[in-house]
Amino acid sequence: MSIISDNNDFKSAKSLHSGHKNPVIKPETLEADKNFENSIRPKSFDAYIGQTALKETLKITIEAAKKREQPLDHLLFYGPPGLGKTTLAGVIAEQMGVDIRITSAPALERPRDIIGILMSLKGGEILFIDEIHRLNKIAEEILYPAMEDFFLDMTTGKSQTVKTLRVPLPKFTLIGATTKAGELSGPLRDRFGIIHRLEFYTEDELAQVIKRTAGILNIEITEEGAHAIARRSRGTPRIANRLIKRVSDFALVKHDGKITEGVANESLDILKIDTFGLDTTDRSLLRLIIEKYDGGPVGVETIAAAIGEDVRTIEDVCEPYLLQAGLLQRTPRGRKVSPAAYRHLGIVDRDINDQKSLF
Ligand SMILES: Nc1ncnc2c1ncn2[C@@H]1O[C@H](COP(=O)(O)OP(=O)(O)OP(=O)(O)O)[C@@H](O)[C@H]1O
Ligand SMILES: [Mg+2]
């Protein structure tokens, strides 16, 4: 299997999205990490940890497609950054024994970009489009007949003499990935046979990811050390992998190189990543809602302006984990913090105290 990447505009598209103040726990890819990420990316279902239900379903789908000697149905993966969407696409290609072409929606701006890629596909190949919610209307319309009937509708000639030409394409599988399934157009979403959400990872699963990466990088780590890092990785393998490198540097410089629970905690404290994996941005977001808005609800635009972040970073990067961790709630009138957030930040909830004083 080979991986061919057409990601010219990939960098700029992703960096638009940046903003987390502490890059160590930013769930998006950092430029500097690209090679590192590729070197530790699992290539098989066995090495791909967690997402068990999804993996089982996919294995069956792949077996069936192989038996029928047909390409896989088009697949859509969605979920927060760093949970393994791109990695999973690679695993599927490996399992199917086919090549994968990797691109992203912002790199498909002109019709000829998408037409060029579709025409260059070989039978059975996988086309992976990242950030697929950002495809423009024209590209989407080119994709519809390609996905449904493996045809490209091309128009030739001018005004009265215009002709539509149906150009056949080899049967291929489109794998789309997005962090924002809600922004995908209905007609595009409907053309995917299989749609799956990737879930945040448990502490145990992240500890496995960490031990696997430590093995590849020849880093010595104890079980407790792996769990200490896992707890602060925001349910996200990309962050777990980044933290292990930082903790390993710290272990080497300040200790004997081995990552124990104590070394991990000490080093993560210095990085200002707390026991929930929250960084200063997350904490200032929660603090703001508590201290200035009485716990909420408050609109996301107001939060963004007050803490100097952009709305997208808050919605795509901070919030998914805060919601999952039960620290934040989304309501129709805005964001509210939960009692757990007060406890985590060590702030006494005035409402709870007021209620107590009534009795
Ligand atoms: N299930 C897994 N088991 C082991 N490692 C994983 C797993 N999922 C992801 N990783 C690691 O985490 C890193 C990030 O994964 P990946 O690039 O696939 O995330 P993504 O969901 O595509 O993120 P984005 O939305 O930013 O594109 C990879 O380098 C990979 O090594
Ligand atoms: Mg990806």
Q: Is 195 in the pocket of ligand 1 (CB under 6 A)?
A: no
Pairwise CA distance, residues 6 & 83, whole Å: 22
Q: What is the pLDDT of residue 14?
A: 41
DSSP 75: E
Q: Which pLDDT tens digit goes with each residue over 243-275?
A: 999 999 999 999 999 999 999 999 999 998 998
Q: Where in the chain is the domain with CATH 3.40.50.300?
A: 3-197
Q: What is the DSSP letter of 337?
A: E
* pLDDT at residue 285 tops 80: yes
Is-contact 308 261, C-beta < 8 A?
A: no
Is the CB of 48 inside a 6 Å radius of any atom of ligand 1? yes
Q: What is the pLDDT of residues 193-222, one digit of tens each?
A: 999 999 999 999 999 999 999 999 999 999
Where does the pLDDT of residue 6 fall: very low under 50, low under 70, confident under 90, or very high at 90 and above? low
CA pair distance 71, 68, nearest whole angstrom: 9
Residue 5 — very low, low, confident or very high, per pLDDT cuts 50/70/90?
Answer: low
Q: Is the alpha carbon torsion for 83, 85, 91, 96 positive or negative? A: positive
Question: Is residue 57 annotated as a catalytic residue, yes or no?
Answer: no
Ligand 2 centroid to 178 CA: how many Å?
8
**Multiple choice CATH, 203-270, 3.90.1150.10, 3.30.9.10, 1.10.8.60, 2.60.40.10:** 1.10.8.60
The tens digit of pLDDT for each residue in 289-343 reads 999 999 999 999 999 999 998 888 888 888 999 999 999 999 999 999 999 999 9
Looking at ligand 1, which atom is closest to the CA of residue 14?
A: 26
* DSSP-assigned states of every residue in 137-200: HHHHHHHHHHHHHSEEEEEES-GGG-EEEEEE----EEEEEES-GGGS-HHHHHT-SEEEEPPP
Which one of the ligands is nearest to 215 CA? 1
* Residues composing the chain: 359
pLDDT at 18: 44
Which residues of the chain form CATH 1.10.10.10? Answer: 280-347
* Domain span(s) for CATH 1.10.8.60 in the chain: 203-270
Distance 236 CA to ligand 1 centre (A): 8
Please report, as a single letter, which amino acid is at residue 204.
D
Say yes or no: CB of residue 307 within 6 Å of ligand 1: no
Residue 51 has pLDDT above 80, yes or no: yes
Q: How far is the CA of 198 from the centre of ligand 2 (A)?
A: 12
Q: Are 263 and 247 in contact (CB under 8 A)?
A: yes
7 band by pLDDT with thresholds 50, 70 and 90: very low
**DSSP per residue, 6-45:** --TTHHHHHHTT---SSGGG-SSPPGGGHHHHHHH---ST
Asked whether residue 176 carries a pLDDT value surpassing 90, the answer given is yes
Work out the pLDDT band at 21, boundaries 50, 70, 90.
low
**181: pLDDT confidence band, cut at 50, 70 and 90?**
confident
Ligand nearest to the CA of 237: 1
**Residue 189 confidence (pLDDT) above 90:** yes
Query: For the chain, what is the radius of gyration of the CA atoms?
Result: 23
Task: Please indicate whether residue 86 is annotated as part of the active site.
Answer: yes
pLDDT of residue 241: 96
| Cβ 309 under 6 angstroms from ligand 1 | no
- The CA distance from 302 to 285, in Å, is 11
Angle between helix 237-254 and helix 203-217 axes, rounded to 10 deg: 50
- Supply the pLDDT for residue 4: 58
Tell me if residue 178 is catalytic.
Answer: no
Options 14, 191, 238, 335, the catalytic residue: 238
Q: Are 311 and 304 in contact (CB under 8 A)?
A: yes
What is the number of the ligand 1 atom nearest to the C-alpha of 37?
A: 29
Bridge partners, residue 168, by sequence: 151
Q: pLDDT (tens digit, 9 = 90+) per residue, 89-109?
A: 999 999 999 999 999 999 999
Q: Which runs of E-coded beta strand occur in 199-338?
A: 328-331, 334-337
222 is a catalytic site residue: no
Architecture of domain 280-347 in CATH?
Orthogonal Bundle (1.10)
> Cα dist. 223→136, 139, 209 in Å?
47, 48, 12
By three-state DSSP, how is residue 270 classified?
A: helix
Mean pLDDT of 124-145: 95
How remote is the CA of residue 83 from the centroid of ligand 1, in Å?
5
Residue 209 CB less than 6 A away from ligand 1: yes
Q: What is the whole-number distance in angstroms between the Cα of residue 166 and the centre of ligand 2?
A: 32
Q: What is the pLDDT of residues 24-47, one digit of tens each?
A: 777 777 777 778 888 899 999 999
pLDDT-derived band of residue 163, with 50, 70 and 90 as boundaries? confident
β-pair partners for 237:
none
- Ligand 1, residue 212: give the atom nearest the CA: 4
d(C-alpha 307, C-alpha 229), whole Å: 27
**Residue pLDDT, tens place only, 227-237:** 999 999 999 99
Average pLDDT over residues 330-358: 78
242 belongs to the catalytic site = no
> Which pLDDT does position 28 carry in this prediction?
78
- CB of 81 within 6 A of ligand 1: the answer is yes
Superfamily (CATH) of domain 3-197? P-loop containing nucleotide triphosphate hydrolases (3.40.50.300)
Give me the mean pLDDT over the 49-78 stretch: 95
pLDDT for res 312: 85
Contact 201 CB / ligand 1 (< 6 Å): no
Cβ–ligand 1 contact at 77 (below 6 Å): no
Q: How far apart are the first and last CA of the chain?
A: 69
Nearest bound ligand to the CA of residue 79: 1
153 phi and psi, to 5 degrees? -95, 115
